[in-house]
Amino acid sequence: MSPESPPVTHRQLHQQVADRVRMDILEGRLKPGEWLRQERLAQELGVSHMPVREALKQLASQGLVEYVPYRGVRVVRLSAEDVEDLYECRAFMEGLAAAHAARHITAEQLEEMEGLHRRMNEIVGSVGIKEYRELNRRFHEIVIGASRRSYLLRTLVQLWSAFPSMLWSNIAATAFGSSPQREEADTVEHEAIIAALRSRDSEAARKITRQHIEAARDALLAALRQNEVESGTVSAHAGSKRGMPGPSGGAGQGSQNAPTKEER
């Protein structure tokens, strides 16, 4: 840091640590169930224990890590049932946001969505998967923001801060590419969302957005099931309501690997 640079405050330092660890989790460098030792993190990041401790508390409040009594902190594992619940929340809330957005979205926002859609369609293969996810996130953020519903906005921003990036990045089959069956469907669904918003059709926007997210959920669950079969971690409890492998517990106790263009 140059002499002219302003000093880094304690708050800024713990936020930098949180951002670094969050990115490592979302991009799959830190795996579900992996222990996060404060001593090691402090050494790797060149900071004291205090900002690491505060960063982990922040990440725990966002659902990315969990404290295990007498053991420490680890990256959460999400079961098939957790995935179902997360995507059901998203489907309902983002569908509702889309319905409101159809009444309020501006021409500039629609134009930006169309531009994002074109750029996503230009990405081929796994090379641009990170960019695709970022574009896809922005696509959904525009719809959420255009709803002008403050509670929906706050809740969905919180949800998107961790999921679904983490889910798709931590399954071998989807870490570096998208599910083939979702490629063409994604394009059609994004186009339909834009068309519903442009025509100010609230009900169509709600329905199409919900179906879009539910289809992504089904693709993710299929990838999770395949991952569990291939890794030999299918639970003995076949508990999920859609016939997916059931977890041995909640977040942090499920399949060995928690859960790609389909993070929609």
Q: Are 223 and 216 in contact (CB under 8 A)?
A: no
Least confident range of 33-42, 81-90, 163-172, 204-213? 163-172
Distance CA 257, CA 123 (A): 27
**Distance linking the first and last C-alpha atoms of the chain:** 39
pLDDT of residue 228 exceeding 60, the answer is yes
Peptide bond into 6 cis (omega under 30): no
**pLDDT for residue 192:** 97
Give me the CATH code for the 10-75 domain, please. 1.10.10.10
Nearest-10 crossing angle of helices 129-146, 180-198: 30
Among 249, 250, 256, smallest CA distance to 233 is for 256
Q: Are 68 and 252 in contact (CB under 8 A)?
A: yes
Return the domain boundaries, the chain: 10-75, 80-231
pLDDT of residue 252 exceeding 80, the answer is no
What is the 3-state secondary structure of 215-262?
HHHHHHHHHHHHHHHHHCCCCCCCCCCCCCCCCCCCCCCCCCCCCCCC
pLDDT tens profile 39-82: 999 999 999 999 999 999 999 988 889 999 999 999 988 888 88
Give me the CATH code for the 80-231 domain, please. 1.20.120.530
Tokens 């959920």, residue located: 217
pLDDT tens profile 127-181: 677 788 889 989 999 999 999 999 999 999 888 876 766 666 565 445 445 555 5
